[in-house]
Amino acid sequence: MTMRISHARLAGALTVITCALVGSAGAHTLAAPEATVSGFAPTQVIVGQLVTISGQNLDGTKSVIVGSTAAQSVSVDPYGTWVKVVVPAGVSPGNVYMTLDGMGGTQSVGPLLINPGSMPPQPNPQPTASKAGTSVKVVVAPRIVSFTPIAGRVGTLVKIRGANLTGTRWVSFGGVRTTHVVVLSANAVTTKVPLHAHSGKLLIHTNGGTSSSTQRFRIVSGAAV
């Protein structure tokens, strides 16, 4: 009889200890790190252009909505430092916000200025985790600060000043592109107003993306001398 009582007490004690351990483990479950956004570039884009959102703990991002349109092309850094999204067709010109949907909730990023026009969707390959010590090439979007003159005829030489202009591929005058560009430095390029150009904002394209000027260039009738 004494042995049976001892076994019963021992079983009860083990049950209490087990429950305590389970409750303790549940109480100390670690929550997922909170995702934070530090910025995005470029800040002005057209449909089809790639936007890079920077931050921390973004690797849980499952989808991105641009304005009210879900992006079809999204890539996420496995280390959580960036999310790249191609602006989807159907987004109207104007200021919109990007919504990142992840395991920890949603993050609203913006405003992102959508300019009129579109381009073929830029490549957005899925990344792979890099080995320790592997260098990563960072590509930065171009930026137009100013240009002179602010008006001219077809053939007029225009100097564009800005940042990250190395490797400029083309310049657009009111939607008409020219590939005749001379890169003077990372902060300046020259180009000529192309045939059939229209008055409007200038667009400049590099490996880092496409950016728009805030000021309009006015086309003057007649040909440049």
Regarding whether 152 and 93 lie in a shared domain, the answer is no
Can you give the pLDDT at residue 26? 45
Are 91 and 47 a contacting pair, CB within 8 Å? yes
Residue 177 falls within a domain, yes or no? yes
Regarding whether 219 and 150 lie in a shared domain, the answer is yes
Can you give the pLDDT at residue 217? 96
- Alpha helix segments (H runs only) across the chain: 2-27
Question: Whole-prediction pTM value?
Answer: 0.48
Regarding whether 41 and 93 lie in a shared domain, the answer is yes
User: What's the token pair of residue 168?
Assistant: 């400029």
Q: Which domain holds residue 53?
A: 36-118
- How many structural domains comprise the chain? 2
Regarding whether 49 and 111 lie in a shared domain, the answer is yes
Please say which residue of 71, 103, 118 terminates a domain.
118
Regarding whether 113 and 57 lie in a shared domain, the answer is yes
Residue 200 falls within a domain, yes or no? yes
DSSP annotation of 65: E
Regarding whether 114 and 41 lie in a shared domain, the answer is yes
Regarding whether 162 and 112 lie in a shared domain, the answer is no
Residue 50 falls within a domain, yes or no? yes
Are 108 and 98 a contacting pair, CB within 8 Å? yes
Residue 42 falls within a domain, yes or no? yes
Residue 26 falls within a domain, yes or no? no
Domain containing residue 213: CATH number: 2.60.40.10
Per-residue pLDDT of the chain (225 residues; tens, 9 = 90+): 444 545 555 455 445 444 444 444 444 444 456 788 888 999 999 999 999 999 888 888 888 999 989 899 999 998 889 999 999 999 999 999 999 887 667 788 889 999 988 888 999 988 876 544 444 445 567 889 999 999 999 999 999 999 889 889 999 998 899 999 999 999 999 999 999 999 999 999 887 778 889 899 999 986 554
Residue 101 falls within a domain, yes or no? yes
- Which helix (H) or strand (E) segment holds residue 2: the answer is helix 2-27
Residue 202 falls within a domain, yes or no? yes
| N residues, the chain | 225
Phi, psi for 198 (deg, rounded to 5) = -120, 155
CA 54 to chain centre: 7
Regarding whether 158 and 108 lie in a shared domain, the answer is no
Residue 126 falls within a domain, yes or no? no
